[in-house]
């Protein structure tokens, strides 16, 4: 079996983001970027399938500027066999990303395309589902457990009501939730080895993808702030304040 | 004028209140009509409940055996067909896991972009939505020459009240459905407690609770005040409680009138899930915990001492 794993470069989850004073977006310059944590879980899952002998080849893909090579190198350090970098300096929205992933899936014919359920920058939670729709493939989103079998996968999904298990025919798209696995720490020899692995450059043009009309960001602003609260000294004081507000 | 189609979210024959919240968002579009689409194997009682939601002008039902277990792969083609057939300008779903899974598939089927998590409506094609775990809010303009597909951030909208019943109409759609996705099983942690996403009061615990057994103290307190129980990611990761109790950026985003959290430090990802709560009460041993920056009432103390005292003081 062959697996395609899509990764996105995003501002590191530990960074407290700064909003530009003119409202034109978020400051990216001089800010630490990493692989979107949900995509890291997707890479880890693909590597585990490979280590279990269920999968022969894992190909990492990303879409974005030159700097994204860093995230592809991380994916290769995890153990991905090769990588494809669809280069663009334009902001890529989910529907266009989905069209790119569709073109790559048609070119590479993987059995599974796995990626994070959402990127922690735009929090869209769209790309996997859109790609599945365009390819008319099954989708199993928010995966907490995946069992790969011959020609199909059994996926347990984390949903509001609890855990839902679906069986999907392959090829299929799987998006990862937080607890699918815990990604490994990368070791220096693996990072060194990754430098020699091939990264193939591609582009939207080469894949025949025209960017779809998308959303225009008019303004980026800080969220509404809550009124500052007060510290209470005792349980009695707390209870009387809650009773005053009619809350208990 | 906008014609809105809302996809009904339900579980075990009960309409989820997220549907009524999506209707509240739709009303902000000042539309010509708001239609609710119920896709089920047996739609009668769901349609009846949806028809009563204030603002709804019509309920459309599609009854098919394939709709017994709602799955994006089979629902999306039906929704896309219904929207095309009905000439709807907007297709909305709630941002529950049901809507998050489904709506992007609907958008791509229709070949259009999607707006995730509408938190405010500026106009029929201009919305506010949260990004970076709610640490920024972006105003987006969507193309006005195509169908607008979006999910509604339920915590931003109170459920609409009940009003006069709207008419119900069975819809016949000529759509072939794929068989590549099959439902196997749904495991729910059934409890008599109020639902975390809709409860007016929520009691929540973090790593500070210390163990699965200790969570019992929180459950007991929650039962006493009629609250639902939630948890931080740390508590879920530590295995104290199941995943579906997680509140935060990647868990549930909630807006109860009262949120009382114990032993939660307040990581930004957790705060993203409670920003719209009416009153936040935080109890934590660490006076420096970031949760106190957002709490309306903060109390520095050991939760194991505070909780029994609270119970006693409330009963007085």
At A112-141, the pLDDT tens digits run: 999 999 999 999 999 999 999 999 999 999
Structure tokens at B291: 């949760």
Residue A101 contacts B, CB cutoff 8 Å: no
Evaluated on CA atoms B237, B242, B246, B249, the torsion sign reads: positive
Check CB contact of A125 with chain B, cutoff 8 Å.
Answer: yes
Q: Enumerate the residues of chain B whose CB falls inside 8 A of the CB of residue A244.
A: none
Yes or no, beta carbons of B139 and A219 under 8 Å apart: yes
Angle at alpha carbon of residue B51, lines to B50 and B53, rounded to 5°? 70
Burial class of residue A81, CB neighbours in 10 A (0-12, 13-18, 19+) = middle
Interface of B with A in 165-194 (CB under 8 A): 178, 180-189
3-class DSSP string for chain A: CEEEEECCEEECCCCCCCECCCCCCECCCCCCEEECHHHHHHHHHHHHHHHCCCCCEEEEEEEECHHHHHHHHHHHHHCCCEEEEEECCCCCCHHHHHHHHHHHHHHHCCCEEEEECCCCCCCCCCHHHHHHHHHCCCEEEEEEEEEEECCEEEEEEEECCEEEEEEEECCEEEEECCCCCCCCCCCHHHHHHHCCCCEEEEECCCCCCCCCCCCEEEEEECCCCCCCCEECCCHHHHHHHHHHCCCC
Quote the minimal CA–CA distance from B301 to chain A in Å: 9
Task: For residue B244, list chain A residues with Cβ-Cβ distance below 8 A.
Answer: 158-163
CB A47 within 8 A of CB A63: no
In this prediction, the residues of chain A whose per-residue pLDDT falls under 70 are none
Is the pTM for the entire model greater than 0.90? Answer: yes
| Cα–Cα distance measured from residue A142 to residue A178, given in angstroms and rounded to the nearest whole number | 8
B216–chain A nearest CA distance, Å? 20
The tens place of each residue's pLDDT in chain B, 316 residues long, gives: 899 999 999 998 999 999 999 999 999 999 999 999 999 999 999 999 999 999 999 999 999 999 999 999 999 999 999 999 999 999 999 999 999 999 999 999 999 999 999 999 999 999 999 999 999 999 999 999 999 999 999 999 999 999 999 999 999 999 999 999 999 999 987 677 898 988 999 999 999 999 999 999 999 999 999 999 999 999 999 999 999 999 998 889 999 999 999 999 999 999 999 999 999 999 999 999 999 999 999 999 999 999 999 999 988 7
Q: What's the pLDDT score for residue A248?
A: 87
Q: Tell me which residue of A71, A9, A223, A161 sits closest to B268, measured CA to CA.
A: A223
What distance in Å separates residue B212's CA from the closest CA in chain A?
18
Domains of chain B, each with CATH number or no CATH: 3-170 (3.40.50.620), 201-315 (3.40.50.1220)
- The reply to whether residue B136 touches residue A19, judged by beta carbons under 8 angstroms, is yes
Binary contact (B275, A226; C-beta < 8 A): yes
Looking at the complex, does the CB of residue B107 fall below 8 Å from at least one CB of chain A? Answer: yes
Taking only Cα atoms into account, the Rg of chain A, rounded to an integer number of angstroms, comes to 21
Backbone angles phi, psi at B235, to 5 degrees: -70, -35
- C-alpha B288/C-alpha B65 separation (Å) is 55
Cβ–Cβ of B97/A158 closer than 8 Å?
A: yes
Interface of B with A in 222-281 (CB under 8 A): 225, 233, 236-237, 242-244, 249-250, 252, 257-258, 268-269, 275, 278-281
Burial class (CB within 10 angstroms; exposed 0-12, middle 13-18, buried 19+) of B19: buried
Of B181, B233, B281, the CB nearest to A168: B181
B120-123 and B126-131 beta bridge pairing = antiparallel
Percentage with pLDDT > 70 across chain A = 100
Question: Which residues of chain B form beta strands (DSSP E)?
Answer: 3-7, 10-11, 14-15, 33-40, 58-63, 90-94, 114-118, 120-123, 126-131, 136-141, 148-152, 168-170, 181-188, 201-205, 228-231, 258-262, 279-284, 297-300
Cα of B60 to nearest chain A Cα, Å: 24
* CATH of A2-244 among 3.40.50.1820, 3.30.43.10, 3.40.50.620, 3.40.50.300: 3.40.50.620
Determine the 3-state secondary structure of B227 from DSSP: coil
Cα B126 from chain centroid?
A: 21
Query: What pLDDT, on the 0 to 100 scale, is given for residue B2?
Result: 96
Q: Is A170 exposed, middle or buried (0-12, 13-18, 19+ CB in 10 A)?
A: middle
Q: In this complex, which of B73, B233, B280 lies closest to A138 when CB atoms are compared?
A: B73
Chain A contacts in chain B segment 57-86 (CB below 8 A)? 71-73, 76
Q: How far apart are CA A200 and CA B201, in angstroms?
A: 53
B137 near A CB under 8 A? yes
A212 in contact with B, Cβ within 8 Å = yes
Please name the member of B189, B297, B309 whose beta carbon is closest to the beta carbon of A241: B297
- The C-alpha angle A59, A170, A73, rounded to 5 degrees, equals 15
Nearest chain A alpha carbon to B281: A238
Smallest CA–CA separation between A206 and chain B, in Å? 21
User: Which DSSP helix (H) or strand (E) runs through B269?
Assistant: helix B268-271
Query: Which residues on B lie below 8 Å from A118 (Cβ)?
Result: 250
């Amino acid at each position: 079996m062959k697996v395609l794993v899509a990764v996105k470069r995003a501002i590191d989850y530990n960074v407290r983001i700064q909003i530009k004073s003119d409202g034109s977006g978020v400051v990216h310059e001089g800010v630490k970027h990493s692989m979107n944590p949900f995509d890291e879980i997707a890479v880890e899952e693909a590597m585990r399938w490979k280590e279990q002998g269920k999968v022969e080849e894992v190909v990492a893909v990303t879409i974005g500027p030159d700097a994204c090579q860093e995230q592809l190198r991380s994916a290769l350090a995890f153990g991905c066999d090769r990588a494809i970098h669809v280069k663009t300096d334009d902001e890529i929205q989910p529907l266009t990303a989905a069209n790119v992933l569709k073109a790559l899936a048609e070119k590479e014919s993987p059995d599974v395309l796995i990626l994070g359920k959402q990127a922690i920058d735009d929090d869209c939670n769209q790309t996997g589902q859109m790609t599945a729709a365009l390819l008319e493939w099954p989708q199993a989103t928010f995966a907490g457990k995946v069992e790969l079998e011959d020609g199909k996968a059994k996926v347990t999904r984390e949903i509001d009501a609890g855990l839902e298990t679906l069986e999907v025919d392959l090829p299929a798209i799987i998006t990862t939730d937080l607890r699918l696995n815990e990604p490994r720490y990368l070791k220096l020899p693996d990072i060194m080895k990754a430098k020699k692995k091939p990264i193939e450059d591609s582009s939207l043009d080469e894949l025949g993808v025209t960017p779809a009309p998308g959303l225009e960001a008019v303004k980026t602003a800080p969220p509404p702030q809550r009124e500052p609260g007060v510290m209470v000294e005792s349980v009695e004081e707390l209870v009387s304040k809650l009773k005053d507000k009619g809350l208990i | 004028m906008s014609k809105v189609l809302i996809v009904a979210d339900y579980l075990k024959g009960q309409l989820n209140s997220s549907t009524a919240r999506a209707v509240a968002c739709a009303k902000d579009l000042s539309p010509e009509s708001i239609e609710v689409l119920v896709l089920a194997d047996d739609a009668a009682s769901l349609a009846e409940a949806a028809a009563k939601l204030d603002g709804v002008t019509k309920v459309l039902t599609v009854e098919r055996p394939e709709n017994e277990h709602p799955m994006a792969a089979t629902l999306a083609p039906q929704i896309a067909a219904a929207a095309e057939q009905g000439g709807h300008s907007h297709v909305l779903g709630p941002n529950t896991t049901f809507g998050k899974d489904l709506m992007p598939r609907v958008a791509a089927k229709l070949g259009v972009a999607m707006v995730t998590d509408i938190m405010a409506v500026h106009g029929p094609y201009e919305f506010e939505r949260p990004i970076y775990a709610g640490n920024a809010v972006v105003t987006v303009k969507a193309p006005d020459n195509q169908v607008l597909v979006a999910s509604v951030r339920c915590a931003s909208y109170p459920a609409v009240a009940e009003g006069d019943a709207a008419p119900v109409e069975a819809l016949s759609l000529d759509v072939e459905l794929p068989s590549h996705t099959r439902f196997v099983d749904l495991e729910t942690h059934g409890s008599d407690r109020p639902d975390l996403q809709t409860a007016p009061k929520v009691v929540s615990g973090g790593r500070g609770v210390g163990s699965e057994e200790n969570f019992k103290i929180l459950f007991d307190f929650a039962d006493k005040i009629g609250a639902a129980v939630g948890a931080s990611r740390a508590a879920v990761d530590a295995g104290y409680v199941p995943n579906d109790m997680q509140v935060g950026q990647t868990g549930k985003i909630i807006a109860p009138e009262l949120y009382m959290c114990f032993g939660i430090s307040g990581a930004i990802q957790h705060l993203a899930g409670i920003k719209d709560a009416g009153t936040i009460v935080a109890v934590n041993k660490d006076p420096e915990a970031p949760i106190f920056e957002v709490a309306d009432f903060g109390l520095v103390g050991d939760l194991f001492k505070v909780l029994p005292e609270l119970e006693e003081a409330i009963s007085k």
